[in-house]
Structures are given as structure tokens and as C-alpha cells.
Amino acid sequence: MNTEIENKIDIACKNFKEVKKSNKIKFSQLDEWLLKESEEFKNETENIEPIYHKYKRGQILKIDFEVNIGTELNHTHFAIVLNNDDTRVTDNITVVPLTSKAGYRKINLGNLVSQKYSSSKYKNNSFAIITQIKTISKKRVLENNNKIMCSENVLSKLDKAIKSYLTK
């Protein structure tokens, strides 16, 4: 590796160490995330054609959104798969994250998660964060239970809210 590349990586490492020392909750798992990311990148250099799980529209998954910039969603959240036509050779899926907190542009989906995960912090209502719809790698999926699906009513409610948010 040439010196210029090494210097940039060393500077990035120094920056990450400073951020980790800030003790901000958002960065509490920064070191674990960086290690995981570096291992994923290293695996990608091996040129192995992976086979991925095929997810269905409306499936609820537990996702590691990891550490992101600004007000983008961070850490672990449940999310609903939005794709209509996922395949086993596609690495990406588009999801709408869920939270247990009401707020602006958050759609109340009732006790969607608490029905399925009794030990969850989602004891009451689940809210879809339609401002945080994201296409993610399937490698971010932490937990997959094929039996956990949204009803057609919930998907219709989401479709309507997303359409209203993204179009005129």
C-alpha cells in the first residue's frame, strides 16, 4: 500500500478514536461497527457469489442500521420490507424502519411488533418512520422470522402514507 493511502487510513483511524472518546450515545458502538464493516469489506474481496435470503413484502425484520451521519437512523430497529420482487441473488432490500416513539411523519401501525415480540420495547404501538425509508444490504438483517408479516391493511396504510409523503 502506498504512503498516501496509509496516511489517509491513519487519519481516519485517529478521527474515529476521537469520536469514540466523545461518549455520545450515538457512537457507543462505533468500534464494533467499524470492525464489522472492515470484515465485511475484506470478505467482499474474496469474490464469492453469495446466496441471500429471499424476503417478502410486509415481512418484519430486525435490522442493524449501524452508525450513520446526522439524524439518519442508528443502531438496531425493526423494519418492514417494501420490495415486491426480492430474489436470492439480490443483496439489497428496501425497508421502512419502525420505532416505539410517536412523532412527525411517523405512521401509527398499532401494536404490530409487540404482538410478535413479547419481550420487545415496543410494548404498545409501533410507528413507521416514512422519512427514513432506506435500501440496505441484506447483511444488515439481524433477525428473520418468516412468520412475522404485516397485514394487507397495514401495507395499504403504509403505501398511502409513503405516496403522500413522496409525491404531490
Q: At residue 142, what is the residue type? A: L
**CATH no. of 59-166:** 2.30.30.110
Q: Is the pLDDT of residue 119 over 70?
A: no
Cβ contacts of residue 75 below 8 Å, gap of 6+?
29, 64, 65, 66, 67
Average pLDDT, integer, range 127-136:
92
What pLDDT is attached to residue 116?
Answer: 60
Closest CA to 62 of 145, 120, 143: 143
Are β-strands 92-99 and 127-129 bridged in parallel, bridged antiparallel, or unpaired? antiparallel
Contact 53, 141 (CB under 8 A): yes
Specify the pTM: 0.75
What pLDDT is attached to residue 1?
Answer: 54
Contact 63, 95 (CB under 8 A): yes
Residue identified by cell 404482538 is 115
The pLDDT tens digits for 43-64 are 777 767 777 899 999 999 999 8
What pLDDT is attached to residue 123?
Answer: 64
Average pLDDT, integer, range 60-83:
82
- Residue 30 to residue 2: CA distance in whole angstroms: 27
Cβ contacts of residue 20 below 8 Å, gap of 6+?
27, 30, 31
The pLDDT tens digits for 26-45 are 788 788 878 877 877 777 77
Q: Where are the alpha helices (DSSP H) in 1-126?
A: 3-21, 30-44, 112-116
- Residue 47 to residue 24: CA distance in whole angstroms: 37
The pLDDT tens digits for 81-109 are 999 989 988 999 999 999 888 888 898 88
What pLDDT is attached to residue 117?
Answer: 62
The residues spanned by each domain of the chain are: 3-44, 59-166
Mean model confidence pLDDT for the chain: 83
pLDDT level of residue 120 (50, 70, 90 thresholds): low
